[in-house]
Amino acid sequence: MPAMPRAALALALLAALPGIASAATTVDIDGRIDTAEWADARHVTDFRLTQPLSRAPAPLPTEAWLKATPEGLAIAFRNLQPPGVPRRRESAQRDQGGPMDRVNLYVDFDGDGRAGYNFTILLSDSIVDGVIANENQFSNDWDGDWRHAVSEDEQGWSAEMLIPWHIAPMQDSVGDTRTLGIALDRVIGSTGERVTWPAVSFAEPRFLSVLEKVEVPKYSQALLAVTPYVVGVFDNVAHRSDFDAGADLFWKPNGQFQLSATINPDFGQVESDQLVVNFSAIETFFSDKRPFFTENQSFFDVPFGSLGNANRLIYTRRVGGPRDDGQGAGDVTAAVKVNGSAAGFNYGVFAATEADEVGRDFYALRGTRDLDTQGFGAMLTRVERPYFDRVATVAEFDHRWTPSEALTVRTTAVGSTIEQGAGTVRDTGAQTRIDHSFGDGWRQQLYLLHLGDALQLNDFGYLERNNFNYARYEISRRFTDLPKESAYASHQWRVAASRRANDHGIKIADAWAFNRTSEMRDGGSEFFEVAGYSSGHDDLVTRGNGVVRMPSKAFLFYERNVPRRGPWGLYWNARYAAEGLGGWDHGSFTVDVEPTYFINDRANVGLALQLKHDPSLLLWRAAPGEGPSLATYRTDQVFLAAAATWLIDSRQELRVRLEAIGLEARAKQSYALAADGTPLPVGRRHEDFGLGNMGFQVRYRYELAPLSNLYVAYVRGGSMAMEPVADGIDAVDWLSDSFSLRDSEQLLVKLAYRFDI
């Protein structure tokens, strides 16, 4: 193993250990660790393995320096990496990341475990940044303005970053110092090993609240930034041109107050959602990349309704979403967001209004208070929808209790009041999650959820369903002491059992699941799961027209992520799901294969091919002349995606993206429903159908300055559907025909430039 460089040894002798001292010198963020610049910094050497989560000493020497300066929080990493350990230095689009050599800073500026920020630098000097909420839920939708640089030599590589104090709102503190929560880590791309200081992991239930508490001088920065934008669109189908303009404003006069505002906000015209075919009664969830709606949004992110990340009380895609009269998307006139702290409380205010007589108004008010072992929060939201003569109000209270390092209890209660016409409907819901670690890699979790039949959160939030009662218990154990000759670095085994019923006492199903998550020594990962449901009922498929008695169900899933070897990388998965009326031997089979070819470290081409066959898809669809009813279909679906990315240099990128879907559905059996929900076969009522979707985009981006970009994009797409469909036309035909779709064809030019005043 190479000896420690003399500069690093000198820094180790000069390091200040108890905290981060006030800066005696400024830091030049050039990626080269200068002894004099970092002489008064805190020096960190005790990095421990957290991936796999053994907490053993780091396999490769890693050091870091932390320093608070008037300009911001400065971090430096020195990563020794001998020639025998390959370096993964592929460039990546912002927030794309990947299995490359990289370093991370996790910082909670208030030190209370409520909200944090993640800043990542890849060996290529590409970056990822995002927010952390609810202990360990990451979102990369947010982009910040911070400085970074990387350098390499024969012995390893170094990285430096400077995070300005104006990047986030911060509570006031007593005296001349403040307490931050901080963690640092390094990932070795070729093996996937992660080493962290302190030895905490976001794979555990508690992450933000157990970051290292570090005291720093109470610096503060003011900032006023205005980002105007202009967009020009030429529509080659309608043969017309449109121009639009707007602006985002960001003002932080001090550490305790921050205001974001937008006029005619940018709706992310250069971003596109993935094509999805969704026949279920559950709405598809899409993330939000609009700058205003991602700035400090984590303060309002209150998860409610499931263990996943989608369900939440504020879903910002509602603002400017489909108009209530169905005539396109809502036109947001203006929106404002305020975050701050006072008298030990954090607070946030959100308001947005849409134009026209059918435009909606959205409001939210949230406050939190944290004590030693407990945290409290409350939020009130209101949506006014004049087209429906509807006002929706939701009140929420949340409580977090951590009586010990091993135990965390989180509880949330909500209530909705819907005033529509002359009537008012009220209902409530609540959830509790208990996480307990009892040593030697063992963990257990209990999750309880109640959603009232009339609870309505989707005027502003996202809730997959209401009318639901759910109880789930999970126990897991992690193994990290696997033999050196094993292809696996760690395993985490989980067993879970759950019960589902609706709020009218109808049993949906009892379920069990068994899975294993594995980290591989090649830097990849593996996951498999086996799950089963008892017989029960489906109360969603008929869209409120009764429940359907369902047989037992079975699920099998396997996925493997193989990191780049030479010019190739590969991800693939396979799934078997017996969830229809046909029983365990009539399930759907899906296979998804996604190879990536790396032309070089700055250019790659990826392909995704998904094939799905379902012999008995259960749908509630219109029957000619008879209205909607239940039917099963034999379906075949092909999804094809291709993408090419060329990062021309540090400021320019070119991306080409194509997605297409073809689906063929042949009606097999129609059903009537008995009074007890039993499906009764009847004569054929339904027709065969098919559909195709296509989206294509070529996008060029030039970064003029931080958070200032010029985009030029060509976008084309469309969809088609047919019922009935002739024999002999299959899913591949629908896919092939989708390439000729031209419902829309646009050339878009967008310029956004941020002015710091």
Per-residue pLDDT at 269: 61
Task: Examine the pLDDT at 237 and tell me if it is beyond 90.
Answer: yes
For residues 192 and 520, is the Cβ–Cβ distance under 8 A? yes
Residue 505 in this model has a pLDDT that exceeds 50: yes
As a whole number of angstroms, the distance between CA 79 and CA 236 comes to 52
pLDDT computed for residue 306 by the predictor: 82
Q: What is the pLDDT of residue 270?
A: 67
Q: What is the DSSP letter of 22?
A: B
Integer Cα distance of 517 and 529 in angstroms: 9
Residues 6+ apart with CB under 8 A from 448: 431, 432, 433, 470, 471
Neighbours of 694 (CB within 10 A): 24
Mean pLDDT, the chain, integer: 91
Question: How many CA atoms within 13 Å lie on the side-chain side of 698?
Answer: 4
Closest CA to 63 of 195, 215, 164: 195
In angstroms, how far is the first alpha carbon of the chain from the final one? 50
Element (H, E) at 726: none
Please give the structure tokens belonging to residue 285: 């969830």
Q: Is the pLDDT of residue 457 over 50?
A: yes
Reading the block at residue 338, the tokens are 């305020």
- Give the pLDDT mean for 494-508: 96
In the predicted model, is pLDDT for residue 627 greater than 60? yes
> Which residue bears the tokens 């699920």?
555
Single-letter residue type at 585: D
pLDDT at 446 over 90: yes
Mean pLDDT of 257-282: 82
Is residue 115 within 8 A of residue 106, CB to CB? The reply is no
Amino acid code (one letter) for 341: S
Closest CA to 171 of 58, 257, 89: 257
Rounded-to-integer distance, Cα 201 and Cα 181, Å = 14
Beta-carbon contacts of 175 under 8 Å, excluding residues fewer than 6 positions away, are 218
| pLDDT band, residue 372 (cuts 50/70/90) | confident
Instruction: Give the pLDDT of residue 8.
Output: 41
Highest mean pLDDT among 33-37, 117-121, 405-409 belongs to 117-121
Q: What are phi and psi of 594, to 5 degrees?
A: -135, 85
User: Is residue 25 predicted with pLDDT exceeding 50?
Assistant: yes
Domains of the chain (ranges, CATH numbers): 6-219 (2.60.40.1190)
The pLDDT-based confidence of 12 (bands split at 50, 70, 90) is very low
Rounded Cα distance between 79 and 81, Å, is: 6
Q: How far apart are CA 16 and CA 125, in angstroms?
A: 28
Cα distance between residue 600 and residue 566, in whole Å: 10
Maximal C-alpha separation, the chain? 85
Half-sphere exposure of residue 2, counting CA atoms within 13 Å on the CB side? 19
CA distance 316 to 297: 9
Alpha carbon distance 189, 157 (integer Å)? 13
User: Which sign, positive or negative, has the C-alpha torsion 620, 623, 629, 632?
Assistant: negative
Burial of 172 (0-12, 13-18, 19+ CB in 10 A): middle
- E strands, 585-684, are 588-600, 603-623, 627-646, 652-673, 679-682
Give, in degrees to the nearest 5, the angle at Cα 599 between 593 and 601. Answer: 105
DSSP H or E segment with residue 13:
helix 6-14
Q: Are 102 and 96 in contact (CB under 8 A)?
A: no
pLDDT score of 345 more than 80: yes
Extract the tokens encoding 118.
Answer: 């993640």
Alpha-carbon distance of 362 to 94, in angstroms, equals: 31
Q: How far is CA 586 from the centre of its chain?
A: 33
CB 480 within 8 A of CB 514: no
Of 189-193, 578-582, 585-589, 625-629, the poorest mean pLDDT is in 625-629
Which residues are paired to 370 by β-bridges? Answer: 375
Q: What average pLDDT does the segment 106-114 reach? A: 92
Q: What is the dihedral of CA 206, 209, 211, 213, to 10 degrees?
A: -160
How do residues 556-583 score in pLDDT, each as one tens digit? Answer: 999 999 988 889 999 999 999 999 998 8
The pLDDT value given to residue 757 = 84
Q: Which residues on neighbouring strands pair with residue 565, listed in sequence order?
A: 568
From CA 187, how far away is CA 523, in angstroms rounded? 10
Q: Which two tokens stand for residue 201?
A: 């992991």
pLDDT (tens digit per residue) in 263-275: 988 655 667 778 8
Helix H, strand E, coil C: the string for 718-747 is EEEEECCCCCCCCHHHHHHHHCCCCCEEEE
Rounded to an integer, what distance in angstroms lies between the CA atom of residue 752 and that of residue 186? Answer: 34
Which of the residue ranges 161-175, 285-299, 673-687 would you say has the lowest mean pLDDT?
285-299
Cβ atoms 332, 320 nearer than 8 A:
yes
Residue 685: both structure tokens together: 């009522």
Q: How far is CA 390 from the centre of its chain?
A: 31
**How far apart, in Å, are the Cα atoms of 646 and each of 137, 601, 701?**
30, 9, 11
* Contact predicate 142/297, CB 8 Å: yes
Task: Classify residue 105 by burial, with Cβ atoms within 10 Å: 0-12, 13-18, 19+.
Answer: buried
Which amino acid belongs to residue 513?
A
Record the tokens describing residue 64, joined without a space: 């870091």
Is the per-residue pLDDT at 509 higher than 70? Answer: yes
DSSP H helix total and E strand total for the chain: 3, 41
pLDDT at 548 > cutoff 80: yes
Distance (Å) of CA 671 to CA 278, 509, 581, 676, 677:
21, 22, 11, 14, 11
SS (HEC) of 495-536:
EEEEEEECCCCCEEEEEEEEEEEEEECCCCEEEEEEEEECCE
Residue 741: strand, helix, or coil: coil
- Hey, what are 605's tokens? 């081409």
